[in-house]
Structure 1
């Protein structure tokens, strides 16, 4: 939150043509595999799709590559690097060295880290010191004990209430050297404590645990032990039953879902805090392309088979359905396997200037389908029908091949649910446009074939729609990511890892439970430490794993290190 407030303040004071501050979470950077510029370029292009475009030809020769890369090279981006302590401990010194190498002296930079982790990163494995050139240290101090006490009592109902009186022994201990005082010296600790121990409206105090247990030195001898207790008790407290706060999800279901999602972020996506619905398929093992192919084959093969079966019999319809389904399954599986890192779509536009390969594909498909329609008619009305059909097929397919996705700026998106709804709308619109292309092709052919005795029938219109519907389905798969999310969601819900109404669950966890927060088009856990705790599973107090011991110490303070402009 401190860095976000800094970013907003820098934007307010930014002069014309000045540098633009951008927040980069370091958790997804691997300094051993990527240099800083390459990684920041990828982050910019992922969050701002418009920056993937190449630099215009009229720009200076030095500005080459994508717009994101050019902005970094021209020093027009002020990097705010969040969370050096979120990198593996062995990577700290390497990361500092990479930052020194990539960013020249005089370029402004902000880097955040916990104090102990930063001190550890200053020493490379070889024993040499690695300093961040020109850095000035700024330390975030603990909360004032009086303000912390007032916050707990006010949230409990105000001084003099029975619920506020339960905090008396704890508030007296604030400012001392006890574990409870250290744990409640941060906004996160206070939020967890009030959620666990303070009643909601019309909730009986006797049903809640007593905050005096925070002072039990035998159970929680260290700050780490008490932090672990607060994290473990937070989810059950957030989802405890209450008449005014009904929930569709039990404590067990919520705990299991949030633990799975945290593990997905921490272990599958490299520790990133961004919970993006379009990356949910990465939580699945191998086999996702096959599942997408089978789903697409059912959606695309059934319409054609049903139409043909109604007019030419069950056997013919089944054969057509199987042929279309198998072909579509193979195409969809190949598309899914080569999709790579994609972002959702907010719509589409028509453009004839880009990607001549798509134009060629569209024209070829149009010619093939047009000739097929014309030839079938030409058996009765003459060979000229084939040429007319070929011409009328090229026009609608050429229009279809010119459709391009419009990707939203994910940092400015109004919410994950809205982004999902727009991407789903793009998928279905393009899919139906594919079917409409066949109808348009047939109507154009009929209009041109009227002088030659052509006739229009409802059977032919339905068949035209069913035949080209799979092409629209493939286009929808290419231009949106909703199908990948749908298949992943169904598979995970069947396995019991996420609820069937996942987006409703995430919205409730954000709006009513305080477990998640919203950052543009993605959700994030309220704190990175909560994400790590859930991902690593519950542990007995006093028995942390070696991988987390370094990360969990010295939580009362972390530092922001700023290299100032000369």
Structure 2
């Protein structure tokens, strides 16, 4: 109720402000009539519209039906990125070591903890508590197993009480947050197309999603090993403490999971299995069923070349072999090739096969030149490898491919252009305002000084994307009050100079845009985001909102004092300065919210640096990346080369990174004059 009253009072204040502004312009009696109607009507309408819509079972059931449709579509998309041929990839497992399970987990019959991908749903549904951890090395088939399990459960929802299996990347979780809250926020961000009642606020929608999570969601947690080590321990502790009926599936690499368990204790009531190397019968069956494959030829090759059997011990290697050498097993193992030599051949063929096979990436997939793709992937792999070698923290973030980090690769040119832009925009905005109020000489001095300070900060800044978003919340009244206070100062200054009611225009025109922007500002964490495109989109909205707010505020105040020409100039430069560079806006937000998540550092915002970097990539040759970078990265995910990790991407297969780096070093050794991509990177990466 208090929130609705505040909104009604705010509506009344806006109505009264509008009436005062109109009465300062004209004395028409129509204004009095409209003002009376607005002053009464706007608060009543605001009070009615702000009433929350009650959530019922039918609302949550509707959300569950929508979620099922979206997950089914997403499943088809992700399965396409992992599948190549008709039939399932050969994946089998057996019970993990007993010390990784608690007493309840060890009670599960070993027959239930052993199986293959054909019976994955049957095996899971026999678990007494519905908690399953799947361990496997890179390329062992964890993603394939999850997708197959999702398909079977989506086809038989009654087997899991109508729940919807949802694939959740654990890299987006800090491990300590309540599981239901995390999953609700994940669904709110990831499934933005869900239709809520239009009168439900963000908090109300999150409450609806918590009910949805508790009643209708079966989370498939993917990639415990992708979390930093301290978070892994916290995540297992949080899952273990959650209520007894909470069911989930979790995947991880074996060593990372073992270290997390040893740091605390096994997860309660959870069965743990480990994926096993493939045997010759599994390999022969899959490759024999591949297009142009021959089971007899592969059986002969595997019996003749023992190194070939070792190389094809994981589903990943078998998958690549089916794509590239299905009809030529002898070519793959010709001569005295070792297992590593065979793997190198397979990795070499992986990227070309994923970009020449028809249908991969979807019907609307962009077309890329394979040679270009190889260069771009090599650059990304070298960049990842450099950060892995130069960072001693062991943080899994060293493997991330983030658009804001890649902008650093175009330094120092990006910093120089950003510094020049800051000098011009901030310097001209400050110089025009101070020069008009005082003297041109004073304006010139302060314009150069302020512009230089901002330029120096812009040249050396390496800011992450904005950690705020715009939404209505409890801080709105505080932010609006702060903006109106600034507007009151501006209005007072205008009244002193003009001695008329134009000060009311200055108060409203300068204070309202700033107040609304700061009032709608709420802090978020980039690490908790689940979409790279979403982070970039929020960054663009941030730039546009502050450009409009500062440009409009300064232009209105200047128009009252001098006229349209100077007002337009000041508005444009002030808007560019406020939108493209962290300075006064971030200082105000930092002081307002007292949040450690808000970085008050000055400098160019991440989107502007990224935009400048893309402009400079064509001329800055060591940086070999496409203009449509996010489109390329997302398409690579669909083709199975990359995987999404929160707001970033990473290579799906670590072995591919190592092979690309090794091939790049060989090429550099052959052509010593060729500049390595490492030379283009910056320590601030």
TM-score w.r.t. structure 2 length? Answer: 0.50
Query: Partner residue of 2:429?
Result: 304
1:394 matched to 2:511? The reply is yes
Would the aligned equivalents of 1:231 and 1:533 in 2 still touch at CA under 8 Å? yes
**In structure 2, what is the Cα distance between the partners aligned to 1:512 and 1:422?**
23
**Residue of 273, 285, 300 corresponding to 1:172:** 300
Q: 3-state DSSP class of the match of 1:249?
A: helix
1:256 matched to 2:383? The reply is no
Query: Partner residue of 2:448?
Result: 322
Matches within 5 A, 1:115-134: 117=255, 124=262, 133-134=269-270
Q: Give the C-alpha shift of residue 108 in structure 1.
A: 1.9
Matches within 5 A, 1:59-458: 78-83=218-223, 98=237, 101-103=240-242, 105-113=244-252, 117=255, 124=262, 133-135=269-271, 137=273, 142=278, 144-150=282-288, 152=290, 154=291, 158=292, 169-170=297-298, 172-174=300-302, 178-184=306-312, 186-193=314-321, 212-216=330-334, 218-220=336-338, 222=339, 226-227=342-343, 230-231=346-347, 234=350, 246=369, 249=372, 251-252=374-375, 254-261=377-384, 270-271=395-396, 277=402, 280=405, 294=419, 297-298=422-423, 300-301=425-426, 304=429, 318-319=444-445, 321-326=447-452, 328=454, 342=467, 351=472, 353-376=474-497, 378=498, 382=499, 389-390=506-507, 392-404=509-521, 416=532, 420=536, 423-424=539-540, 427-442=543-558, 445=560, 456-458=563-565
**In structure 1, what is the Cα distance between the partners aligned to 2:315 and 2:564?**
70
**Residue of 138, 144, 149 corresponding to 1:6:** 149
Taking structure 1 as reference, are residues 198 and 441 closer, same or farther at Cα in structure 2, changes over 3 Å only?
A: farther
**In structure 1, what is the Cα distance between the partners aligned to 2:614 and 2:466?**
18
Q: 1:76-122: CA deviations, max 9, x gaps?
A: 8644333456689x9999689747743455532323346x6599669
Q: Structure 1 or 2: larger helix share?
A: 2
Taking structure 1 as reference, are residues 390 and 419 closer, same or farther at Cα in structure 2, changes over 3 Å only?
A: closer
Q: 3-state DSSP class of the match of 2:372?
A: coil
Q: 3-state DSSP class of the match of 1:301?
A: helix
Corresponding residue pairs, total: 475
**In structure 2, what is the Cα distance between the partners aligned to 1:35 and 1:405?**
22
**In structure 1, what is the Cα distance between the partners aligned to 2:427 and 2:310?**
63
Q: Give the C-alpha shift of residue 503 in structure 1.
A: 0.6
Q: 1:308-350: CA deviations, max 9, x gaps?
A: 899999977754542442565699899976x68848x6xx56x
1:525 matched to 2:651? The reply is yes
Taking structure 1 as reference, are residues 188 and 37 closer, same or farther at Cα in structure 2, changes over 3 Å only?
A: same
**In structure 2, what is the Cα distance between the partners aligned to 1:20 and 1:532?**
37
**In structure 1, what is the Cα distance between the partners aligned to 2:430 and 2:296?**
74
Q: 3-state DSSP class of the match of 1:499?
A: coil
Taking structure 1 as reference, are residues 409 and 469 closer, same or farther at Cα in structure 2, changes over 3 Å only?
A: closer
Cα root mean square deviation, aligned: 6.3
**In structure 1, what is the Cα distance between the partners aligned to 2:146 and 2:259?**
21
Q: Give the C-alpha shift of residue 441 in structure 1.
A: 4.1
Would the aligned equivalents of 2:513 and 2:549 in 1 still touch at CA under 8 Å? no
Query: Partner residue of 2:59?
Result: none
Q: Give the C-alpha shift of residue 516 in structure 1.
A: 3.1
Taking structure 1 as reference, are residues 19 and 281 closer, same or farther at Cα in structure 2, changes over 3 Å only?
A: farther
Taking structure 1 as reference, are residues 148 and 35 closer, same or farther at Cα in structure 2, changes over 3 Å only?
A: closer
Q: 3-state DSSP class of the match of 1:111?
A: strand
Specify which structure has the bigger relative contact order, considering alpha-carbon pairs within 8 angstroms and separated by 6 or more residues: 1
Q: 3-state DSSP class of the match of 1:81?
A: strand
**In structure 2, what is the Cα distance between the partners aligned to 1:96 and 1:419?**
24
Taking structure 1 as reference, are residues 363 and 67 closer, same or farther at Cα in structure 2, changes over 3 Å only?
A: same
**In structure 2, what is the Cα distance between the partners aligned to 1:386 and 1:138?**
73
**In structure 2, what is the Cα distance between the partners aligned to 1:118 and 1:383?**
71
Would the aligned equivalents of 1:93 and 1:122 in 2 still touch at CA under 8 Å? yes
**In structure 2, what is the Cα distance between the partners aligned to 1:513 and 1:100?**
32
Would the aligned equivalents of 1:439 and 1:461 in 2 still touch at CA under 8 Å? yes
Q: 1:42-84: CA deviations, max 9, x gaps?
A: 6875775599xxxxxxxxxxx9xx9699789979864433345
Q: Give the C-alpha shift of residue 510 in structure 1.
A: 1.8
**In structure 2, what is the Cα distance between the partners aligned to 1:505 and 1:10?**
31
Q: 3-state DSSP class of the match of 1:432?
A: helix
Gapped runs of 5+ residues in structure 2? 1-143, 192-202, 357-366, 590-604, 667-685
Gapped runs of 5+ residues in structure 1? 52-62, 159-163, 200-209, 447-454, 541-566
Taking structure 1 as reference, are residues 68 and 288 closer, same or farther at Cα in structure 2, changes over 3 Å only?
A: farther
Would the aligned equivalents of 2:301 and 2:329 in 1 still touch at CA under 8 Å? no
**In structure 1, what is the Cα distance between the partners aligned to 2:177 and 2:556?**
49
Of 42-51 and 390-399, the range deviating more from structure 2: 42-51
Taking structure 1 as reference, are residues 360 and 412 closer, same or farther at Cα in structure 2, changes over 3 Å only?
A: closer
Taking structure 1 as reference, are residues 508 and 133 closer, same or farther at Cα in structure 2, changes over 3 Å only?
A: closer
Would the aligned equivalents of 1:417 and 1:503 in 2 still touch at CA under 8 Å? no
**In structure 2, what is the Cα distance between the partners aligned to 1:310 and 1:397?**
23
**In structure 2, what is the Cα distance between the partners aligned to 1:468 and 1:425?**
14
Would the aligned equivalents of 2:488 and 2:511 in 1 still touch at CA under 8 Å? yes
Of 180-189 and 36-45, the range deviating more from structure 2: 36-45
Taking structure 1 as reference, are residues 462 and 106 closer, same or farther at Cα in structure 2, changes over 3 Å only?
A: closer
Taking structure 1 as reference, are residues 283 and 520 closer, same or farther at Cα in structure 2, changes over 3 Å only?
A: same
Would the aligned equivalents of 1:180 and 1:215 in 2 still touch at CA under 8 Å? yes
Would the aligned equivalents of 1:506 and 1:516 in 2 still touch at CA under 8 Å? no
**Residue of 454, 459, 470 corresponding to 2:566:** 459
**In structure 2, what is the Cα distance between the partners aligned to 1:331 and 1:133?**
53
Taking structure 1 as reference, are residues 186 and 50 closer, same or farther at Cα in structure 2, changes over 3 Å only?
A: closer
Query: Partner residue of 2:636?
Result: 510
